[in-house]
Amino acid sequence: MTQRGRFITLEGVDGAGKSTHIAWLVETLRARGLEVVSTREPGGTPLGEKLRELVLNEPMGLDTETLLMFAARTEHLRQVIAPALARGAWVVCDRYTDATYAYQGGGRELGAARIAVLEQWMQPPLAPDRTWLFDVPLEVARARMTAARTPDRFEREQQAFFERTRAAYQARAGADAARIHVIDASQSLEQVRAALAADVEAFLREAGVPAASAA
């Protein structure tokens, strides 16, 4: 029987720098012979990408925003994530449900209770096996935010919003330290990469993936 793949997510406030590490992670896993599906939220399916466009750019109420995140997520889960894991592929997802707890729950102050109801609605009920949370002080995150493109609805938010978002992420990591590993992303890119690489190796060992050959 095919062994189920592993579900990995990466999280952090905008500007934490996680995107620069995702391509590296995907390459690293592929170099170990794993089939890897690299995907993102909101998005990950044709409909999900349309919902992403709406939720990042159209004015809307908080309930609508939260429901659209989960509408995109349920499509993603059923069409992409669950089938990939079932065939033995590993899934690397740029943000997942922790982002809703952090951004809508914390940043927008919806709280966790209603999000938990929507999370329970997701079928199949799949939690990530490992989440790497890129944590940085807000000044660092803001300085890193790409000035080149037009900021979306979230990137336009004020400092206090990101403080609440970061705090909600940290609280989730504190409550589930076995799954959510915090990476201090305020260090240099090389130091962050080294910290992530060491933890990725440990995760691969636990998953029974053979050590990299010296080739």
Closest by alpha carbon to 201, among 191, 192, 193, 211? 211
Provide, rounded to whole angstroms, the least separation between the CB of residue 37 and ligand TYD. Answer: 17
Q: Could you tell me which residues come within 8 angstroms of residue 140 by beta carbon, excluding any fewer than 6 positions away?
A: 15, 185, 186
Q: Which stretch binds ligand TYD (CB under 6 A): 22-30, 83-91, 92-100, 122-130?
A: 92-100
Which residues 6-25 are close enough to bind ligand TYD by CB under 6 A? 14, 19
Dihedral sign of CA atoms 47, 48, 51, 57 in order: negative
Q: Which is nearer to ligand TYD, 14 or 75 (CB)?
A: 14
Cis peptide upstream of residue 210 (ω within 30 degrees of 0): no
In the complex with ligand TYD, which residue's Cβ is closer, 141 or 200? 141
Which range touches ligand TYD (CB under 6 A), out of 83-91, 95-103, 120-128, 166-174?
95-103
The CA radius of gyration of the chain, in Å to the nearest whole number, is 17
Question: Between residues 42 and 128, which has the closer beta carbon with respect to ligand TYD?
Answer: 42
41 binds ligand TYD (CB under 6 A): yes
What are the backbone dihedrals phi and psi of residue 26, each rounded to the nearest 5 degrees, phi first? -60, -45
Contacts of 68 (CB under 8 A, 6+ apart): 42, 51, 54, 55, 60
- Contact residue for ligand TYD among 5, 17, 42, 48 (CB under 6 A): 42
Does 103 bind ligand TYD (CB under 6 A)? Our answer is yes
The residue within the footprint of ligand TYD, chosen from 9, 28, 38, 100 (CB under 6 A), is 100
Side-chain half-sphere exposure of 5, counting CA atoms within 13 A: 23
Of residues 79 and 207, the one with the C-beta less far from ligand TYD: 79
Task: Identify residues 139-158 at the interface with ligand TYD (CB under 6 A).
Answer: 154
Nearest C-alpha neighbor of 6 from the set 24, 26, 20: 26
Residues that bind ligand TYD (CB under 6 A): 14, 19, 41-42, 69, 94-95, 99-100, 103-104, 154
